[in-house]
Amino acid sequence: MKDKWALATKIIHAGHIKDSSGALVAPLCQSATFVFDSAEQGGARFAGDETGYIYTRLGNPTTAELERKMAVLEGTQAAVATASGMAAVSSALLANLSHGDHLVASKAVYGCTFSLMNNQLSKFGIAVTLVDFSDPQAISKAITPQTKVLFCETPVNPHLDVFDLDEIVAIAKKHGLISIVDNTFMTPLLQQPILHGVDLVVHSATKYLNGHGDVIAGVICGTSEQIDKIKFETVKDLGGVLSPHDAWLILRGLKTLDVRVERHCDNAERVVEYLLSHPKVIKVHYPGLKGSKGESLMGKQMRRGGGVIAFELDADLKASIAFVNHLQLFSIAVSLGDAESLIQHPASMTHATYDIEQREAAGIGESLLRISVGLEAAEDIIVDLEQGLAQV
């Protein structure tokens, strides 16, 4: 793979090893285990003295192609695929945190990530402090001698705040911490955290990487040393391994990632323009908006704003829910990055794991709605929003 090739080219060609049959498309290796030529060979592979496949929980040719491709796209040495985005998040954290350690994370994160941090890590004796990652002083103040990891999403799920990765990495390096960034909303096409010094990048591959709403998967990208530790210790022992068939589906979906992301961004920008002008919309959240915290990061950290928009209605909870129910083209569903436009109500859906006070602290109000702008004609998406807003 030539480094000078554009990401749009690498998306299609990176990671592919010519199959002995000459197949253009990577074959699906739907096998749980692999046969050794001899008992000695099996022992050598388990001992690490010989490379080769043993058992799909430890590696599989189809999954390996996806991992090679994602490492190239994120600009890392290696990657490991997991059974879900949450398997990626939990494996990346548990590989770097032990009993007595401390994690500092953004106060607003995906609901299940919040639940993992708020309800599960304490069972292992891991302390968690949630702070505003747009405030470097707040991050630094939260760090203790026991702190080992900084974790954030940027843009944040669900209200799309963005953080300066250079500032976060500078703090992490100053204190000798591991930095982990969830890059799901941006994909490697719009943002590459590794270029800013981030240690590990995680994705819910369920979303844009697959792009067709038919796979649950995750990916972690980092150095070979980091990924070997995560893959052959944490993922292996916890078992959150991606199936070869799902890896094959993501490989197929990735081939159109570049054209899909461009269309998602084009449509989202038109929808943002419409929402900003509507009198019943009191606030629009979208990366890079003029006057927003993230405006200065466009071009420096992010190439475009992505396909997810959050907005707040001049309405109470009941009216906000009624608006959602009046939409016709939008599907009421969580997730994002699909061909179809989706809408959901974070406070009662994806972020229901937060209590009321926690939601308020994280900026997740009752009238906040999140849409994943699909690949339909932008004018049809806007017409559907218009008829829905007319009911508010």
Q: Name the residues annotated as catalytic.
A: 57, 110, 182, 207
Nearest to 309 by CA among 260, 348, 270, 340: 270
3-class secondary structure per residue, 148-163: EEEEEECCCCCCCCCC
Q: How far is the C-alpha of 77 from the C-alpha of 125, rounded, in Å?
A: 31
Q: How far is the C-alpha of 268 from the C-alpha of 172, rounded, in Å?
A: 33
> What is the chain's length?
392
Q: How far is the C-alpha of 66 from the C-alpha of 73, rounded, in Å?
A: 11
Q: Which residue has the tokens 């998306």?
A: 11
Beta strands in 52-95 (DSSP E): 78-82
Those residues whose C-beta lies under 8 Å from the C-beta of residue 392, and which sit 6 or more positions away, are 280, 313, 314, 315, 319, 320, 322, 323
Q: How far is the C-alpha of 338 from the C-alpha of 181, rounded, in Å?
A: 22
The per-residue DSSP string of 302-324 comes to BSS--SEEEEEESS-HHHHHHHH
Buried b (16+ CB within 10 A) or exposed e, 188-219: bbbbbbbebebbbbbbbbbbbbbbebebbbbb
**92 and 230 in contact (C-beta within 8 Å)?**
yes
Q: Which residue has the tokens 């990346």?
A: 92
Q: How far is CA 115 from CA 78, 228, 351, in A?
A: 28, 27, 9
